[in-house]
A and B are shown apart, each in its own frame.
Chain A
Amino acid sequence: QCPVVHGKEAVWATTRNLMKSCWLLGYLGLARREMAENEALSRRQKVLTIDTMNANIKKVEYAVRGPIVQRAVQIEKELKEGVKKPFNEVIKANIGDAHAMGQRPVTFFRQVLALCSYPELLDDDKFPEDTKYRAQRILKACGGSSIGAYTASQGIECVRQDVSRYIERRDGGVPCDPDNIYLTTGASDGIVTMLKLLTAGEGRTRTGVMIPIPQYPLYSAAIAELGAVQLNYYLDEDKCWGLDISELQRSLQAASKHCNPRVLCIINPGNPTGQVQSRERIEDVIRFAAKERLFLMADEVYQDNVYAEGCKFYSFKKVLYEMGPEYFNTVELASFHSTSKCYMGECGMRGGYMEVINMDSEVKAQLTKLVSVRLCPPVPGQALMALVTNSPQPGEPSHAQFLKERTATLGDLAQKAKLTEEILNTVPGIRCNPVQGAMYSFPQITLPERAIREAKEKGQAPDMFYCMKLLEETGICLVPGSGFGQKEGTYHFRMTILPPADKLKILLSKVKEFHQRFTKCYS
């Protein structure tokens, strides 16, 4: 029964009841929302899955740090934990990592870097005067005299000037404008940036990029990531990995039907193939690029690594210049260099530069804008680049030691290049071109039919199967040829020549032994 109430009391009661129902409704609403939330959460799938991620990234492959290297790292850990193996150390001959293989850094470089890092050392007598002079010069060019400040995005101006003078010296006086120099985070960064700039169009107008096969897999990785079209041209293994213009022509012609070929990449000295191109061949390539309207990208990071007699490094820039103004004023070229290779081997510093020639001035403004987004290349790497391109001169206190260290390193490499080729060629079933330059041997290996079959059953490339077995049995880490590309039906591996000579000998004899065992086992 409803009690009769009057006046204020009635109003209060109604209000109370209303409030109660509001509470109830609110509570129900809240509960419902929470339930819905819980439900939504439990139904929630990951935002980022293998199916919803960037499809281009999935296509990226980079064998130099691929599954075989991951397994090598695992084995190293197992060894540390005391797991028994048929070897007691893993030898990583998969990557051109000179210092990791025991090469000593150049003293002069490291002294200047230490001074730049901690300028209080400038009053220390231990450091030669020229190291101090260099450090002061670099520091003066840095904001607040600290290598902790951002630099211009294109790189510190005085470093770019050093680089351009270095190029002029190298190329016998061919002029070089510091405004055409862009410092980079290793050569890889420069190459990716240039390819990014060059990639355009859709479908049949999509940019095609010609790369050598075998190639350094940075190229295929960058092309996949950018969704550009990879155009293979094959190097001629029978002619010491020579480059044949008719092969370029064939590759271009085949590609023109499905994309717009605009870029030609050359690696000289070759990686992984170690060939050094002749002057004539470079001329032919330039002529080809001019005729077919291709943008040239010359990867010249191994320019000091030339060992074979009769071989010499010619820069694309120099040859281009010497071909006369009708080429020098028109052919677009970007050339790349780095502190990671040559006698320096300072990979960890991620220093490098690129020089752009005949680049459209509007595009250059776009390039400068693009690199400004990542602010600047690492300054220690820039400082190192300054030292590499402006090394101690005769008469300076550090000159003698610098020269001694550089000569020793390059002499050592030349000897190891020869040793590698010689020993590998004594193995039946392994055939190896001379290592004219760079830091790798890329021998062809003959694999027994049964091994190929077994590999294919496992879904593995036959040379991956081979390299994996080699790693498990000997602790030697190589990269299978399939990671670089090779002619169908041929198999290779890439091996660096960097381990110290005595270790290299052991390594080569182990490879020899393994190959014989492997061949026997699968024959």
Chain B
Amino acid sequence: MVESALSNIYIYIYIYIYIYIYIYKIWVSSVGRRRVFSNPPPTHEMTENSVVHRGKVLTLGTMNPSVKRVEYAVRGPIVQRAVQLEQELKQGIQKPFTEVIKANIGDCHAMGQQPITFFRQVLALCCYPDLLEDNRFPEDTKTRARRILQACGGGSLGSYSASQGIEIVRQDVARYIEKRDGGIPCNPDNIYLTTGASDGITTMLKLLVSGEGSSRTGVMISIPQYPLYSAALAELSAVQISYYLDEENCWSLAVGELQHALEAARQYCRPRVLCIINPGNPTGQVQSRQCIEDVIKFAAEQNLFLMADEVYQDNVYADGCRFHSFKKVLFEMGSKYSDQVELVSFHSTSKCYMGECGFRAGYMEVVNMDPEVKVQLTKLVSVRLCPPVPGQVLLDLVVNPPLPEEPSYRTFFEERSATLAMLAEKARMTQQILNEVPGITCNPVQGAMYTFPRIQLPPKAIAQEKGQAPDMFYCMKLLEETGICLVPGSGFGQRDGTYHFRMTILPPTDKLKIVLAKIKEFHQSFTEQYS
């Protein structure tokens, strides 16, 4: 008792000193400024002198505080260390491993996945139209290239496009969505092409965030989450409202938990947005149709704007699982919902069987958006002129792939099926091997590209940390000892006292096996060492 009272007093003293220093600083700076303007303009010589003692304009203390709060674990300190290790290996420094394996990020091509031939042929034709004369390109690739070039100013990919995206690409996207959703209509005017899905998500959040203090916009995101969300919210100074996925039930989403999180948040902010990632990142669950319906009902009742991150829509592996788009379910729930609930859904060329992350392409579809707001959105995206055109081209090919009667169809179909089948196999394998390790438990990877297993850490390892999250300590050690780069669960958020890591299932099968065996070995020796 006495001790805690004492420590409280210390805290108060500390706060008082802090406030005092702060007031003093403000006083000094205002006095300094007044002095600048009451004095005659300084002579040239004085200027030279002041230059020498000049402090920086932009420092950690004076920069945008919201940017400081941004965190992005997927490319955080552990990845920076991995890059360093790679360089050290190149310089011939001895390590207990010969290569760094980056299983931290869903970067398919970097992990050896081959690009789809059809996509790349059309892109080459669009970049250098002289190739349209070349016989090595199938006719359908040329037809596509000509059609796209015709829609570009001056027949060149180098022209700006409309800010919302090339019109024919948006039309193709709309048709693709209609086909995917069994005929539910889609208006090309509701499609905005983006610089990867990240750009779309950030833009929408930007539009949605307003108010101050207790009326500041609150955004509900799942925990664990993809850290783009927390980063964007920090940058926008919006309020993050965490709802927890249920690890015991294969990371499923319970409406009771949403309700609970929402009610708690209403005390200090105005919750207006509900973000869902399906299939889940980093958690790999695929939502059932029923669950999506419940979420939509919840959003409708609670007056929430729905943001559905559906970039892994083709990455569904588990038996009995199927991807249901929020849009489709919304419309099947009848006009009571489909005329009202505001929804935006995101897709990208970076995932699924394409894996074309470097092109930074994607789209979003906005449903039931207020027309005045839509005008504002169109204006907002016009400031950045247009999404990269090669990415727009690629997106067009993704949503309008070769038809069965076209010459490229066979290769395209084979390549796509092979990639998706391989991913399904790796998903199964990862889950199976990890679950064999005592102290690691892993939900099935129903979809997406990651496993997010729970790891049991011995108490000594948890105590070991010095300002480091225990799973960061674990992953750092794993990296230093094996060259395997994972992202600690703390970067995505997790229930207090639980520890995880995120690992992609992307390395080629034989390499993945080695990675998994190495993790197994490491986990055992780590547990032994700290027990």
Residues of A within 8 A of B (CB): 37-38, 40-41, 44-50, 52-55, 57-58, 60-62, 65-66, 73, 95, 97-103, 105, 110-111, 113-115, 117-118, 121, 124, 126, 142-144, 146-153, 185-186, 188-189, 192, 196-200, 218, 221-222, 225, 253, 256, 262-263, 287, 290-291, 293-295, 326-327, 330, 332, 344-350, 358-360, 362-363, 366, 369-370, 372-381
- With a cutoff of 8 Å between Cβ atoms, the chain B residues found around residue A57 in the complex are 206-207, 376, 380
* Pairwise interchain contact A332-B340, C-beta atoms closer than 8 A: no
- Known contacts A148-B115, A373-B231: A46-B342 contact under CB 8 Å: yes
Is B303 interfacial (CB-CB < 8 Å)? yes
- Known contacts A53-B210, A262-B57, A348-B159: A153-B128 contact under CB 8 Å: no
Complex Cα distance, B51 from A179, in Å, reads: 25
- Which residue of the partner chain, among A48, A65, A326, contacts B370 with CB atoms under 8 Å? A48
- Which residue of the partner chain, among B297, B358, B380, contacts A150 with CB atoms under 8 Å? B358
Among residues of B, the one whose C-beta sits closest to the C-beta of A325 is B52
* Pairwise interchain contact B379-A60, C-beta atoms closer than 8 A: yes
Is B19 interfacial (CB-CB < 8 Å)? no
Is B368 interfacial (CB-CB < 8 Å)? yes
* Pairwise interchain contact B54-A330, C-beta atoms closer than 8 A: yes
* Pairwise interchain contact B63-A363, C-beta atoms closer than 8 A: yes
Would you list 16 pairs from A and B whose C-beta atoms are within 8 A, ordered by A residue? A38-B336, A47-B305, A49-B372, A58-B376, A66-B382, A114-B128, A144-B112, A186-B384, A200-B65, A287-B47, A293-B54, A332-B57, A348-B158, A358-B56, A378-B360, A379-B358
Among residues of B, the one whose C-beta sits closest to the C-beta of A344 is B158
* Pairwise interchain contact B62-A37, C-beta atoms closer than 8 A: no
* Pairwise interchain contact A102-B389, C-beta atoms closer than 8 A: no
* Pairwise interchain contact B64-A97, C-beta atoms closer than 8 A: no
What is the minimal beta-carbon distance from B341 to any residue of chain A, in angstroms?
9
Is B121 interfacial (CB-CB < 8 Å)? yes
Is B410 interfacial (CB-CB < 8 Å)? no
* Pairwise interchain contact A47-B272, C-beta atoms closer than 8 A: yes
Name the 8 nearest CB pairs between A and B, nearest first: A143-B110, A100-B153, A348-B389, A379-B358, A114-B128, A118-B124, A146-B109, A99-B156
B67-75, B465-473, B489-497, B517-525: which lies at the interface? B67-75
Q: Contact flags (1/0) for B79-106 with A, using CB distance below 8 Å?
A: 0000100000000000000000000010
Complex Cα distance, B300 from A61, in Å, reads: 33
- What 7 additional pairs, Cβ within 8 angstroms, besides A41-B301, A185-B388, A363-B58? A44-B300, A49-B372, A53-B208, A53-B210, A144-B109, A295-B57, A378-B359
- Known contacts A65-B382, A111-B128, A362-B59: A54-B54 contact under CB 8 Å: no
Among residues of A, the one whose C-beta sits closest to the C-beta of B297 is A37
- Known contacts A332-B58, A350-B388, A378-B359: A46-B370 contact under CB 8 Å: yes
Interface magnitude class on chain B: 35 or more
* Pairwise interchain contact B115-A349, C-beta atoms closer than 8 A: no
Residues of B within 8 A of A (CB): 33, 37, 42, 47-48, 50-52, 54-60, 62-65, 67-68, 70-72, 75, 83, 105, 107-113, 115, 120-121, 123-125, 127-128, 131, 134, 136, 152-154, 156-163, 195-196, 198-199, 202, 206-210, 228, 231-232, 235, 272-273, 297, 300-301, 303-305, 336-337, 340, 342, 354-360, 368-370, 372-373, 376, 379-380, 382-391
Complex Cα distance, B230 from A373, in Å, reads: 10
- Which residue of the partner chain, among A97, A149, A373, contacts B70 with CB atoms under 8 Å? A373
Among residues of A, the one whose C-beta sits closest to the C-beta of B77 is A369
* Pairwise interchain contact B158-A62, C-beta atoms closer than 8 A: no
- With a cutoff of 8 Å between Cβ atoms, the chain B residues found around residue A189 in the complex are 384
Complex Cα distance, B196 from A128, in Å, reads: 33
- With a cutoff of 8 Å between Cβ atoms, the chain A residues found around residue B355 in the complex are 148
* Pairwise interchain contact B120-A117, C-beta atoms closer than 8 A: yes
* Pairwise interchain contact A291-B59, C-beta atoms closer than 8 A: no
* Pairwise interchain contact A97-B124, C-beta atoms closer than 8 A: no
Complex Cα distance, B388 from A188, in Å, reads: 13
- Which residue of the partner chain, among A45, A124, A287, A349, contacts B157 with CB atoms under 8 Å? A349
Complex Cα distance, B152 from A101, in Å, reads: 11
Complex Cα distance, B207 from A320, in Å, reads: 40
Complex Cα distance, B251 from A33, in Å, reads: 29
What is the minimal beta-carbon distance from B373 to any residue of chain A, in angstroms?
5
Residue among B55, B342, B389 with the most chain A CB within 10 A? B389
- Known contacts A53-B373, A143-B109, A349-B157: A363-B60 contact under CB 8 Å: yes
- With a cutoff of 8 Å between Cβ atoms, the chain B residues found around residue A378 in the complex are 195, 358-360, 388, 390-391
* Pairwise interchain contact A47-B342, C-beta atoms closer than 8 A: yes
Complex Cα distance, B385 from A350, in Å, reads: 9
- Known contacts A53-B376, A99-B158: A148-B300 contact under CB 8 Å: no
What is the minimal beta-carbon distance from B41 to any residue of chain A, in angstroms?
8
* Pairwise interchain contact A349-B388, C-beta atoms closer than 8 A: yes
- Known contacts A44-B300, A46-B368, A378-B195: A149-B59 contact under CB 8 Å: no
- With a cutoff of 8 Å between Cβ atoms, the chain A residues found around residue B50 in the complex are 290-291
Among residues of B, the one whose C-beta sits closest to the C-beta of A346 is B158
- Known contacts A47-B272, A50-B372, A142-B358: A99-B159 contact under CB 8 Å: yes
